[in-house]
């Protein structure tokens, strides 16, 4: 049973380009969470999705950032017109259900560098 | 509570000593707590969890203590080893969203 798979592991983009980060949850998991981590800092919640629905995007910037979790395929975090401040590690986690006693499993992250 | 951009505090311990990492959580309605370990270049890994109806839970070499009165969580690592060097995060869940604390970097000196 493969864990949470994120790709690419490393992504370099020039300012103004688009970044697409992919997350395949663990088998049987229908809940996906995206977190952002700056160097030497903690993980900051961005968005929580279930299949085809965004449940909570309170941590996501209003502009340039979007997320989806289609019925088929991985969850995608999309950053348009990237700026240097978007450089960070982006982690995806998945869980089987939501609420208490629900452990979320994390992927290895995508490290985005904007040059 | 949620990380707000503060740099990580650091704890340095001698190999073989016990380590205690502390965390203050923000939401008194949170009812499930997890400690994660994050090694350099990797995603967080589950260490141990505790429900709000408990005040202590033990695992292999690790113990989590929960004090709901002051909204405080601690992780104790017995006989700390070099492989324990990592960043440790506490996380709280109240509902569906897992909120991470700021994290503590643990250095283990040989």
> Could you say which DSSP state residue A68 is in?
E
CB contact under 8 A, A41 and B31: no
Q: Is A100 on the interface with B (CB under 8 A)?
A: yes
Q: Do A43 and B102 touch (CB under 8 A)?
A: no
Cβ–Cβ gap A40/B31 under 8 Å? no
Substitution target from B98, B99, B105 for chain A, most A beta carbons within 10 A: B98
d(CA A71, CA B71): 39
The answer to whether residues A90 and A98 touch, using CB atoms and an 8 Å cutoff, is: no
A1 pLDDT band, cuts 50/70/90, is low
For chain B, 110 residues long, the average pLDDT of each consecutive 10-residue run is: 57 96 87 92 92 94 95 96 95 77 90
By C-alpha distance, which of B10, B5, B1, B32 is closest to B88?
A: B10
Residues of A with Cβ-Cβ distance to B93 under 8 angstroms: 99-100, 102
Nearest CB to A42: which of B32, B95, B101?
B101
Q: Looking at the complex, report in whole angstroms how far the Cα of residue A78 sits from the nearest Cα belonging to chain B.
A: 20
User: φ and ψ at B12, to 5 degrees?
Assistant: -115, 125
> pLDDT tens digit string along A38-55?
887 888 889 999 988 999
Nearest to B34 among A33, A103, A107 (CB): A103
Averaged pLDDT for residues A4-8: 96
- Binary contact (A33, B100; C-beta < 8 A): no
């Amino acid at each position: 049973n493969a864990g949470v798979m994120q790709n690419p592991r490393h992504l370099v983009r020039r300012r103004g380009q688009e970044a697409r980060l992919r997350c395949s949850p663990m088998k049987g998991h229908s809940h996906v969470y995206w977190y952002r981590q700056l160097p030497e800092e903690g993980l900051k919640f961005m968005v929580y999705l279930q299949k085809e629905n965004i449940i909570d995007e309170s941590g996501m910037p209003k502009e340039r950032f979007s997320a989806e979790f289609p019925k088929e395929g991985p969850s995608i975090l999309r950053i348009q017109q990237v700026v240097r401040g978007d450089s960070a590690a982006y982690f995806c986690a998945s869980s089987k259900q939501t609420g208490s006693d629900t452990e979320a499993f994390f992927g290895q992250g995508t490290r985005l560098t904007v040059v | 509570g949620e990380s707000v951009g503060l740099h990580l505090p650091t704890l340095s311990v001698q190999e073989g000593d016990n380590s205690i990492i502390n965390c203050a959580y923000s939401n008194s309605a949170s009812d499930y707590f997890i400690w994660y370990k994050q090694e350099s270049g990797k995603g967080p890994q589950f260490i141990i969890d505790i429900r709000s109806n408990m005040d202590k839970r033990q695992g292999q070499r690790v113990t989590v203590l929960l004090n709901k009165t002051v909204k405080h969580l601690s992780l104790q690592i017995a006989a700390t080893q070099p492989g324990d060097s990592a960043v440790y995060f506490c996380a709280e869940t109240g509902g569906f969203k897992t909120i991470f604390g700021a994290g503590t970097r643990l250095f283990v000196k040989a």
